[in-house]
Structure formats: structure tokens, C-alpha cells
Amino acid sequence: MTRGKREQVGADTFVTAGLAEDDGFEQLPREEVAYHLERHGDEFLIRWPAHRVECSLTGLRDHSDGIAGELAVSHGGVELHWGRLGLASTQTREGVVRKLNSILPDIPWRTIIEAACRATVRALRASSTTVTLHGRRTTGPRHLVVPLLPLHQTAVIVADGGSGKGFLSTALALAVAHEAHLPSGLYATARVPVLYLDWESDPDDFDDRIYLLSRGLELTDAGIHYRRMVRPLAEEAPVLRAEVSRLGGGFVIVDSLAPASGPEPEGADAAIRTHNAIRSLGAVTTLCLAHVSKATADQRGPARPFGSVFVQNLARSVWEMRRDTESDDLLTCLYHRKVNRGRLHPPIALRFRFTDEAITLSRAELEEAPDLLARTSASMQILSALRTGAAKGGQVAEVTGLSMDTVTRTLRRLAKADKVVRLSDDHGSKGHEISWGLRTSKADT
């Protein structure tokens, strides 16, 4: 067995200093068999300092007949070999050794190639290990961006086209890149690398968006990593694992989920395959932008992401984003539709204002957009109506458009929660309506 010291230096990035002499190879002095292995996702670089040799193994796939990939071998920075290699195939390994011996016969190529293949296979197959858990409280932040993005989990923002999800995701990328605060109580808890995977736009358009939002948010030197995508995410996963590893983990944005899922994105297989590929990226926080399903795009109730129910079920947090079509600015609201831990967060209203030189982001009030307010809970609509002053139940029903029965039941529930207070003294006697007002100490919901 190869002996060595293994150190994790990033998300799925490992460095190993090892010796090949225990693998039954030709006996050589210790310094002759010492190597240095560096892993980035599914890509491996093995250096043999004593011989000025580097072996890189990329494009690795585990098939029924073993692991295969592309092997490149260089000496002193000069490439000597590149080709496809079955790592467990004695015949193909010997073919590489013969070729390299014909070029530089004084180097122990058999030891180098055998050790590189063995170390790579071991590392790949030891990627997922069983651990014993004894139960302990998790400490530290639970979100990368509070309250939208659970740390090291996948969140989904679902919205119709033109709702502003691209601008919001870019603002979140800037917040994480700077560990900055955004309006409406949004803030990043850490500064980590950001990788934006874009199936919809192009680098010039995205760079312009970064420029305008950076000026509006008064942030500079964004340093956001961008990758224009064409193939499905599952097919690109090996390359992306290496990229995320080299960047050191962080925050990955998938824009958007349907093209990232590949053919037949509406199917359960596509959703599961894509979410599994996201999980394979390691300990990163992921935001997936998704379009709404056709069946729920125009309805008053909560919208669902396009595709299989697994798009929503496999995400740890799901937010629906709607825009107000009457506003001159881009006035949007985020509704928390699903969470796996804790309670749903109240709606978050934001305003994007566009000029030729900047895009500014500010807090908005739902009262400014009746259509967005109407998508909130009955409790929130009633509390909003009472912020303008005390009112009777019938007046509240008229303002909100809710039925009188709904208003009555909700007001009683809010009274028990000590959020509203009965103001009239007639206790609802015949011919009289009860007046209600906000409990001033708990008016802010």
C-alpha cells in the first residue's frame, strides 16, 4: 500500500505526499519513489520531484471494466505523452511505459505510472465514507445569505420570465463576494468564491449587469467567476467539481435549472440527476433559478417550479419571486414557499431602479403593490390594512378582498396571538361591528 500524508486543503481538494515503494514495485532509494499528489475534484496531478515528472489524470469515469481517463505525462515542463488510459489495464499501462522508456530511458517509468494509477483509483473510491454520528448541536451560521440561502445546501428561486431573478441572483453574488449587506435584512455571513453557471446569457451581458449593480450597491472589484454553459450540468459535473475545488468551494449559481437539466427537463429523472450532480460539487451553497410551471404561472396561489415535483422536494429552501406590473421600477416580492428547517420567512419586498449608470436596490413596502400584497397570507393582508388605522371587520374585508368569514376568523386568531386588539365595547352585539386595531407593541410583523 502506498504510504503518505493526506491533507484537505479545500472543498474536495487534497494533497498527498506518498511513497510508492510499498506497492511491490522495483526497489529504489526513498527519494526516488517520493511523490506529491494534488486532487481537484476528479482531476489529479502527481509530481515526482526527484525526476521532474508530472502526471495528470483527467476526464475520469468509472465503468464496468474499471476507471478510465486521460493521462498526460510531462518532464521538465515538456509534454511526453497524452492519451486515453484504462487505469486497471496492465496492457495499456505497459504501452505507456514502453513509449516513455523510448524517449527517456533513465527514469523509472513503470514505478511512476503504476503508482499514479493506483493512488488515483484509491482516492476516487475513497471519496464517500461512512461516518459515525453521536448527536451534537451545529454551531455557526446556518445561512450563507440570511434568510435566503441555507449554508452548504441548495435553494431555488422560482419566477416567471422578467421577474428580476437574474438581477437578484447577481446582487446575491456581489453580497457574497464582499460579505456585504443588502436591503430588507439580507446579508452574507461569509466572503467566499462565487461561480456563476449561465445557460441563458453571455459574458458581456453578465459583466454589464455586475457593473451596474456594483455601482448601485457601492461595491467594487467583484471578482465573480463566470462560466458560459451549453451542456447539461450532470455532463459537466466532473469539470465543475475540479473548478469548484480549485476555487476553494463557496457559492454556485445555476441560471437556469431547465436548460441545466438537459433533455426532457420536466421529468423526474432529469431533476434527480441534476440535483445529484449539484450535491457532487461538495460543500458549496447553491442557488438554482427556475421558471414557473405553465399551470401555475397566472394563478393567485403559490407557483411551482417547472418540471418534476423533485425540483422543489430536493431543494432545502424554495422562494417564489413575483413582480408588480404597475410599478415604473422593478418592484418584486419574495415569498417563502418551502423550508426544511425552521419556519417560513415573511415575504421580502425589493425595488430595483434602473438608470444608465447604475442599478440601485432598496427595500420596498408591499402596500405599494396591492397585487403582490394579495399573494400573502390573510394575516399579513389584514395587519397591513390595519396599519392605516383602526377599522371594522367589514371595512377590512372590503380593503383586502377577503371574505367576511375569513376576516373574522383571522382577526380572532390574531387577537389570541396578541397582534391586534378589540377597540369597540359592544362585543359584536346585533347591528354593530367590532372595531379592531393593531397592538402597537407588536405592530411590526
18 pLDDT above the threshold of 70: no
Query: Quick check: 199 and 260 in contact, CB under 8 A?
Result: yes
More confident residue, 57 or 294: 57
In the chain, the N- to C-terminal Cα span, in Å, equals 62
DSSP track, 135-175: -----S-SEEEETTEETTSEEEEEE-TTSSHHHHHHHHHHH
Give the whole-angstrom CA distance, residue 332 versus residue 350.
5
Give the whole-angstrom CA distance, residue 18 versus residue 7.
12
User: 277 pLDDT band (50/70/90 cuts)?
Assistant: very high
358 pLDDT above the threshold of 60: yes
pTM assigned to the model? 0.80
132 pLDDT above the threshold of 70: yes
Q: Name which of 26-30, 283-287, 322-326 the model is least confident about.
A: 26-30
Would you say the C-alpha torsion 311, 317, 323, 328 has a positive or negative sign? negative
197: left (phi over 0), alpha (psi -120 to 50) or beta: beta
More confident residue, 205 or 138: 205
User: 390 pLDDT band (50/70/90 cuts)?
Assistant: confident
Percent of the chain scoring above 90 in pLDDT: 54
368: left (phi over 0), alpha (psi -120 to 50) or beta: alpha
Give the whole-angstrom CA distance, residue 127 versus residue 138.
23
Which residue intervals of 25-155 are DSSP H helices?
30-33, 90-103, 109-125
Q: Is 191 strand, coil or helix?
A: coil
pLDDT at 363: 95
Burial class (CB in 10 A: 0-12, 13-18, 19+), 24: exposed
Q: Name which of 298-307, 319-328, 388-397 the model is least confident about.
A: 298-307
Give the whole-angstrom CA distance, residue 38 versus residue 56.
9
Other C-beta atoms within 10 Å of 436: how many?
A: 24
Which amino acid makes up residue 292? V
Q: Is 115 strand, coil or helix?
A: helix
Contacts of 169 (CB under 8 A, 6+ apart): 157, 196, 253, 255, 287, 289
Query: Quick check: 36 and 44 in contact, CB under 8 A?
Result: no
Query: Quick check: 316 and 336 in contact, CB under 8 A?
Result: no
pLDDT at 425: 55
Query: Which H or E element spans position 66?
Result: strand 66-75
Nearest alpha-carbon partner for 305 in 287, 319, 290: 290
For residue 430, give the DSSP letter. Answer: T
Burial class (CB in 10 A: 0-12, 13-18, 19+), 221: exposed
Give the whole-angstrom CA distance, residue 72 versus residue 85.
10
Give the whole-angstrom CA distance, residue 38 versus residue 34.
14
Give the whole-angstrom CA distance, residue 101 versus residue 93.
12
User: 383 pLDDT band (50/70/90 cuts)?
Assistant: confident
For residue 181, give the DSSP letter. Answer: B
For residue 380, give the DSSP letter. Answer: H
Which amino acid makes up residue 174? L
pLDDT tens, position by position, 49-71: 999 999 999 988 888 788 999 99
User: 170 pLDDT band (50/70/90 cuts)?
Assistant: very high
Set out the domains of the chain in order of their start, with CATH numbers.
Answer: 3-125 (no CATH), 143-367 (3.40.50.300), 377-442 (1.10.10.10)
pLDDT at 433: 74
Burial class (CB in 10 A: 0-12, 13-18, 19+), 164: buried
* 380-392 mean pLDDT: 85
